[in-house]
Structure 1
Amino acid sequence: MPDLHTIKQQLETLLQEPIQHWEQFENILRPVTFKAGDYLSEAGKVSNAIYFITAGIVRVYTIHQGKEISMDFAFPGMFSSSYASFITQKPAVMNLQAINAVTGYAFYHQELQQLYASSHQSEKIGRMFAEQQYLRKYHRELSFLQLTAQERYAQLLQEYPEVVQHIPVKQIASYLGIEPESLSRIRKNMRTAD
């Protein structure tokens, strides 16, 4: 199964060493599929899974003053979770929603906790995953302090060129912290500069 091999590679990259007992991880991975618009995790409910996305795009968003605010996107080869809810087992404030058809695998909370308890290396993977989540959030916050909206958009395009093709403009603009009209101007300016 190529998807499982990809997960193993991602975890070993995170760990920076080979996984000693891969079969233990493999045994708790559950295949999942979601249609466009389905929720992987909903605000107000406890998030019980960390997802590895093999196809499709997931949007992470919250609602503030009646307005949807896109916080993140997860693409194939990435993990996605309402992580604060997952680790506290309290209701999430974030929604994870499939933008298009999504397939992947889920690590469920209880099974993952049992795995952590059984092996130091798996516990280390959990710690490394938490550190990666922190760094992702840190870099996003830093980009808001150091980059203009146009620079943030250019960076997003460079890292994830598929964004333009599959994600509605409104959601990208929200992610960048600007109005859709501003994003339209940025796109026009970038096309003119080329």
Structure 2
Amino acid sequence: MERDVFQTVYSSPYITKTDYEEIASAHSQMGVEQGTILLEAGKIANEYYIIEKGLFRSFVYDYNGNEITTEFYCPEELLIESFSLFYRSPSMENFQALTSGTVWKINYQTFQQLLDQTEGLREWGRAWATHHLFTMKKRSVNMLTMNATDRYLTLLNERPQIIQQAPLKHVASYLGITDTSLSRIRKEIVIA
């Protein structure tokens, strides 16, 4: 299982079988209980995680003190606070396990060493950063141009695990709507 996770997450034609073995050995497996905070706002990220099992989220507090979910993280995805990790600055977000799960952790220094010695990983990193930037931009535009029902349907189609496992209040805040609006949308979809 573990090698499959690494080859999926670090998918790149430039990474060799030997590279994958080195990358895998640089990570350590960790069980995570539901509700665990992996990174608190105000602290500097010293590692990132590959999710093998479970559902995670990042969140902030708005100006009224309400939790707003900024992203969800599913199996075979990176759970990473890029700005904090790479710029060595305090995180603006909190990262929390919504379910119990299993992750593979790699610390900042080890990742930097791997980047220095593995050309394929550098190429992967550039591709990942570009894709991540595109995904963030798409989400920003969708929040401004799509109605709430279409945002919900897009999330349901692209990442059904979130709809199935995340509490509705977190899904609603991620979609930028109230719990009541989300309940109404869900009822309308079932009836339609």
Which interval holds the TM-score relative to the shorter structure?
over 0.9
User: How many corresponding residue pairs?
Assistant: 190
Give the deviation of 1:187 after TM superposition.
Answer: 0.9
Q: Which of 7, 20, 23 is residue 22 of structure 1 equivalent to?
A: 20
Give the deviation of 1:18 after TM superposition.
Answer: 4.2
SS of alignment partner, residue 84 of structure 1:
helix
Where does the alignment leave 5 or more consecutive residues of structure 1 unmatched? Answer: none
Q: Structure 2 matches for 1:144-183, cutoff 5 A?
A: 144-183=143-182
- Range with bigger deviation, 118-127 or 141-150: 118-127
**Does the C-alpha gap of structure 1 residues 128 and 178 become closer, same or farther in structure 2, counting only changes over 3 Å?**
same
Identity of aligned residues (%): 29
CA distance in 1, matches of 2:182, 2:33: 28
Q: Which runs of 4+ in 1 moved over 3 A?
A: none
Q: Which residue of 2 aligns with 1:126?
A: 125
Q: Structure 2 matches for 1:47-66, cutoff 5 A?
A: 47-65=45-63, 66=65
Q: Which residue of 2 aligns with 1:45?
A: 43
CA distance in 1, matches of 2:173, 2:36: 20
Per the normalisation by structure 1, the TM-score is 0.91
Give the deviation of 1:146 after TM superposition.
Answer: 2.4
Per the normalisation by structure 2, the TM-score is 0.92
- Range with bigger deviation, 142-151 or 97-106: 142-151
Q: Is the contact between residue 82 and residue 95 of structure 1 (CA under 8 Å) also seen in structure 2?
A: no
CA distance in 2, matches of 1:31, 1:4: 12
Tell me the alpha carbon deviations over residues 38-81 of structure 1, each in whole angstroms, 9 at most, x when there is no partner: 01211111111221111110011111211111111011111111
Q: Which residue of 2 aligns with 1:98?
A: 97
Q: Which residue of 2 aligns with 1:136?
A: 135
SS of alignment partner, residue 122 of structure 1:
helix
Where does the alignment leave 5 or more consecutive residues of structure 2 unmatched? Answer: none
